[in-house]
């Protein structure tokens, strides 16, 4: 199921937004002033907002759903929005010689990374270009797990009740299924590919030097274009 509009998405996935790692990921890229920045699976544009504040020369946002894109990014004509799949967007950028210095993908790599797409991305980057992304590092159980919790509604004094259900199914590879439920909203269902470190490195190693930075529940990878 496609992601809902950005307002509904932020309400459904509030817990994950509270743990936003945009600043941490951008800090790993170093000084990005006057750089061209690519935000893959940009969603509401959290990374792009931070990047603009850090002085990027130009920004490109890719997402397959126009309803997910926030407003106010085209500051002084610095931001280009491409509403396409990652594969189609990278191909379009290559045809128009749209090169980037720094690329990032926050909580979206499991939807698209393959060796072929890593190659496509590498063609848009100079030697020494930086690609940073994060992903969870613990594969969900094949037995569906249910988590319930409450969160304070932003700007209000009341709370909302949440339920999450996730599990994985082994076919040729493990597919992860996730149902997100928030009181007062329609549920959201998504599916993506489980990617362990071996798979990730196999996709990237021909084109990037890969450094893994491990955290408790998520891993951040910093990749340098060869």
DSSP secondary structure letters along 18-58: HT--HHHHHHHT---TT-EEEEET-TTTHHHHHHHHTT-SE
β-bridge pairing 188-193 and 174-182: antiparallel
pLDDT attached to residue 68: 85
In the chain, which stretches have pLDDT less than 50? none
pLDDT attached to residue 77: 67
pLDDT attached to residue 192: 95
pLDDT attached to residue 178: 97
In angstroms, the CA 71 to CA 129 distance is 28
pTM score, two decimals? 0.93
For 170-208, write each residue's pLDDT tens digit: 988 899 999 999 999 999 999 999 999 999 999 999 999
pLDDT attached to residue 172: 80
CATH class of 18-137+195-225: alpha beta
């Amino acid at each position: 199921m496609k992601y809902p509009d950005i307002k509904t998405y932020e309400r459904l996935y509030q817990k994950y937004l509270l743990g936003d790692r945009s600043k941490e990921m951008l800090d790993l890229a170093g000084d990005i002033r006057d750089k061209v920045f690519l935000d893959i699976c940009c969603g509401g544009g959290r990374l792009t907002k931070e990047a603009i504040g850090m002085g990027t020369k130009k920004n490109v946002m890719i997402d397959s759903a126009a309803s997910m894109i926030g407003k106010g990014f085209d500051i002084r004509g610095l931001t280009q929005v491409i509403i396409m799949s990652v594969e189609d967007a990278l191909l379009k950028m290559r045809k128009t010689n749209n090169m980037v210095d720094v690329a990032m993908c926050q909580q979206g790599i499991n939807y698209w990374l393959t060796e072929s797409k890593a190659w496509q991305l590498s063609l848009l980057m100079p030697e020494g270009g930086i690609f940073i992304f994060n992903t969870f590092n613990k594969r969900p159980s094949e037995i569906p797990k249910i988590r319930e919790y409450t969160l304070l509604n932003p700007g209000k004094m009341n709370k909302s009740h949440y339920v999450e259900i996730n599990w994985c199914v082994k076919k040729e590879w493990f597919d992860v299924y996730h149902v997100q439920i928030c009181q007062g909203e329609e549920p959201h269902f998504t599916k993506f590919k489980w990617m362990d470190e071996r798979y990730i490195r196999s996709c990237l190693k021909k084109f990037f030097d890969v450094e893994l930075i491990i955290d408790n529940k998520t891993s951040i990878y910093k990749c340098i274009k060869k």
